[in-house]
Amino acid sequence: MRILGIDPGYGITGFGVVEAQRGSCRLLRCGAITTPAGMDFSARLEIIYEDMRQLLETVKPDAVAIEELFFGQNVTTGIGVAQSRGVILLAIRQAGLPVSAYKPMQVKQAVVGYGNATKHQVQEMTKRILHLDALPKPDDAADAIAIALCHARSSTSLLSQHSKT
């Protein structure tokens, strides 16, 4: 199964493509969609949408996993990220792909085994699981890879397979 993981943002949207087969995973590609800070916000959303459509066409994932929004201290930033996430979800929907959303704590639990793991612990474990020589860059891409790994582990669990019957 080819899984596209997405860490949504409006300045940087990270992505990671993972191939999951029989309990093992390998990284196929990762990177980021970026938009200029001074640009009109609606133009930034258009770039994200068009780049996401192109990415979906290029990597042809079987499934997409995206991070759920977490509103911390800065609600204004959260609103912008929510709008970015909306155009990303639209592109996924138009591509006819299944999408699953995961909370940050679920990603940490799936990758590290501990829901309160640090960002560094998640990145290190991602590096180990995928047998990488270095941490993927930028951090947003590394986060997206972890989201894809979370989906790989969730979608292949016995509990998940049981609930589909």
Known catalytic residues are 7, 67, 140
Residue 149 C-beta-side C-alpha neighbours within 13 Å: 27
Q: Is 27 exposed, middle or buried (0-12, 13-18, 19+ CB in 10 A)?
A: buried
With H, G, I as helix, E, B as strand and everything else as coil, classify residue 31.
Answer: strand
- Which CA distances in Å does 149 have to 46, 75, 84, 110? 28, 28, 22, 8
Measured CA to CA, the distance from residue 82 to residue 11 in angstroms comes to 12
Would you say 29 and 16 are in contact if contact means Cβ atoms under 8 Å apart? yes
